[in-house]
Structure 1
Amino acid sequence: MTQRQLYLGALSDNRRWDQVKLRSDDVIVVTPPKCGTTWMQTIVALLITGDPHVETELSVRMPWVDIRIREMPEVAERLENMNHRRSMKSHTPIDGLPLHPEVQYLCVFRHPLDAHFSFRNHIRNVPIGWYDHWYPEDDPDGITFRRFLDGGPEGFDMDAMPLAHILRHYKTARALADRPNVTLFHYADMKRDLAGTFEHVAKLLGVTYAPAQMEELVSQATFDNMKQNAARFAPSGGKGFFKSDSAFFQSGKHQKWIGELSDAELAAYDAAMDAALTKDERDWLENGAGTGV
């Protein structure tokens, strides 16, 4: 990949990465929204420090570089002044990121329909009406799902997380998955084997801990613990950014769409997925693999 794709949306701008001076031991968590971003960031924070009681403070210590809420010179200066191993977050597909041969890129995916319905809940929990017209509370005509299927992977649409943006993330990550520093994870696999996920990430980061310490680190990143301590684990937790920090961790369950979509909507989704992916690619994106890509 020789030229970065431009991703310029209503909320995010991948050109902001131009101001970040990457270091060889950096870790970048790259995901579509609501696919396990905060979960993977928490795993990374626990493994980098080895401290089960670490205050993650994700929005400050492991910043979302793409988003335009904070002035980029301030974010870049804060990153440059960090004297510990750094981690950052991006919702930009990997073809829009600067690729460093030694930086670890952890790409996390989830069944697109689960991610979509999780994003619906997320929008309701943010006290700013950025995408109310995409996600109306009263939606008898199914506008939200139509826009999920019809939206584009770039430009204004992308920050509303249409299917095309998820697919762009997935295809570009798969195209680089043969690199030793680009690894794909799946939310379902993380749920099935959280301890195994910790071991995998620890190996990528080059860290090791005694079994008892690793067990304690894993216990901190369970869904129930993160939800019960949402002010600690949610991005900007305890600062009033969300209506409810606990609601940020809404359920984490699979098949959120059951009973929510019509046969016609499911058929349209199936057609879009089959047109974009091979059977094996689709099966992994929707269900994970248990052992990897």
Structure 2
Amino acid sequence: MDVFMSNFPIPRKTREFQNHHFDSTIWNDFRFRYNDIIIATYAKSGTTWMQQIIAQLLFNGDDDLCVSEISPWLDLRVPPKEVKLAYIEAQTHRRFVKTHLPVDALVFSKKAKYIYIGRDGRDVLWSMYNHHVTANDTWYDALNNTPGRVGPAIGKPPTSIIQYYHAWLNDNGYPWWPFWENVRSWWTIRNLPNVCFVHYTNLKNNMPGEIRRIAEFLTIPIDEEKWKAILLHCSFDYMKENATKSAPLGGAFWEGGAQSFIHKGTNGRWRNILQKGELLKYEQYAAKELDPECAHWLATGKML
């Protein structure tokens, strides 16, 4: 049975979410098409990787794709939503956009298919820190000085990643946005027929198997003659070497350019840095904020 014709309840938007990055009101004017693809993550959880995977599946291993252009971040407040909506409306291919919002701050549609990517919060934070510490003045100017910002500006990060870690944990995702509520909100709808959960660890451990699972969920047939090209173009080494095709504006927002945006792609860099008490603190937050099955999945990629 086609999931889009099945009778299942859908989440409702209950609030707007706006800050230095977000303008969730754009979803109110987004016109869904049948088979739109929405890639959802907290951030730094494999978003760009998933965009690359879906682009390669849709365009049969094409080597000349700029995913940051064809798959925009819909709820990012720059460029203005009128510009972004017109750009997306003009697309003629099967559309795939990304969001970093919790479920209750976007418009959910039965017409679309949703892929949520999860990653251990400590790995997320390590990647976020690199993203932030390499940001240049152009990045700060776009986020802080473009008209329409709601709330405080985003400032520069501390020189210590440990200090950054504690601020992020203690102050509900500061200076970005809440982490636990994002994971929690998507977890509550994980069993909807148009939602697929993917974990960063599983992508790393079995990329071919996960890509085939994603293709099946999205009902995208795989041309086996293009399979090797698809895998090559989704590999970290390829994406690092061709980072300008993945990074927003070719990496113009970061010192070091696109190579800084596509950084390491590894997990566990925190293991030899965080002390026992600092590790325990994260685990206590996870136990408090998530149910046991969700916490286990987020840490391991395995469903209980």
* TM-score of the aligned structures, taking structure 2 as reference length: 0.85
1:175 equivalent in structure 2: 188
Asked whether 1:214 is paired with 2:227, we answer: yes
Give the Å deviation of 1:138: 4.7
Asked whether 1:63 is paired with 2:72, we answer: yes
Asked whether 1:202 is paired with 2:211, we answer: no
The 2-side partners of 1:194 and 1:236 are apart by 27
Q: Is the 8 A contact 1:24 1:103 kept in 2?
A: yes
Q: Which amino acid aligns with 1:224?
A: D
Q: Structure 1: which 5+ residue stretches go unaligned?
A: none
Asked whether 1:19 is paired with 2:29, we answer: yes
The 2-side partners of 1:76 and 1:194 are apart by 32
| Aligned with 1:5 (options 2, 15, 21) | 15
Q: Is the 8 A contact 1:176 1:182 kept in 2?
A: yes
Asked whether 1:147 is paired with 2:147, we answer: no
| Aligned with 1:101 (options 103, 110, 113) | 110
2:133 equivalent in structure 1: 124
Q: Is the 8 A contact 2:13 2:106 kept in 1?
A: no
Q: Structure 2: which 5+ residue stretches go unaligned?
A: 1-10, 141-152
The alignment partner of 1:212 has SS state of helix
2:274 equivalent in structure 1: 261
Q: Is the 8 A contact 2:20 2:154 kept in 1?
A: no
2:298 equivalent in structure 1: 285
Give the Å deviation of 1:251: 1.3
2:238 equivalent in structure 1: 225
The 1-side partners of 2:290 and 2:269 are apart by 22
2:89 equivalent in structure 1: 80
Q: Which amino acid aligns with 1:160?
A: W
Q: What RMSD over aligned residues (CA atoms) do the two structures have, in Å?
A: 1.9
Q: Which amino acid aligns with 2:119?
A: R
Q: Is the 8 A contact 1:45 1:56 kept in 2?
A: no
Give the Å deviation of 1:240: 2.2
Asked whether 1:136 is paired with 2:158, we answer: yes
Q: Is the 8 A contact 1:173 1:182 kept in 2?
A: no
| Aligned with 2:248 (options 224, 227, 235) | 235
The 2-side partners of 1:207 and 1:255 are apart by 33
Give the Å deviation of 1:209: 2.1
| Aligned with 2:203 (options 190, 201, 204) | 190
Q: Which region of structure 1 is more displaced relative to structure 2, 30-39 or 144-153? A: 144-153
Give the Å deviation of 1:39: 0.3
Q: Is the 8 A contact 1:30 1:90 kept in 2?
A: yes
- What are the Cα deviations for residues 1-24 of structure 1, in whole angstroms up to 9, with x where unaligned? 233332112221211111211111
Q: Is the 8 A contact 2:51 2:67 kept in 1?
A: no
Q: Which amino acid aligns with 1:67?
A: L
Give the Å deviation of 1:268: 1.6
Q: Is the 8 A contact 2:13 2:107 kept in 1?
A: no
The 2-side partners of 1:283 and 1:176 are apart by 17
2:176 equivalent in structure 1: 160
Question: Aligned pair in 2 of structure 1 residues 240, 253: CA closer, same or farther (>3 Å)?
Answer: same
- What are the Cα deviations for residues 162-217 of structure 1, in whole angstroms up to 9, with x where unaligned? xxx22212211111111111111100000011111211111122111232312221
Q: Is the 8 A contact 1:19 1:72 kept in 2?
A: no
* TM-score of the aligned structures, taking structure 1 as reference length: 0.88
Q: Which region of structure 1 is more displaced relative to structure 2, 227-236 or 186-195? A: 227-236
The 1-side partners of 2:64 and 2:220 are apart by 16
Give the Å deviation of 1:67: 1.1
The 2-side partners of 1:240 and 1:276 are apart by 36
- What are the Cα deviations for residues 39-97 of structure 1, in whole angstroms up to 9, with x where unaligned? 00111111111133141241x32111111120110101111111221111111112211
Give the Å deviation of 1:143: 3.2
The 1-side partners of 2:18 and 2:154 are apart by 16
Identity within the alignment, %: 24
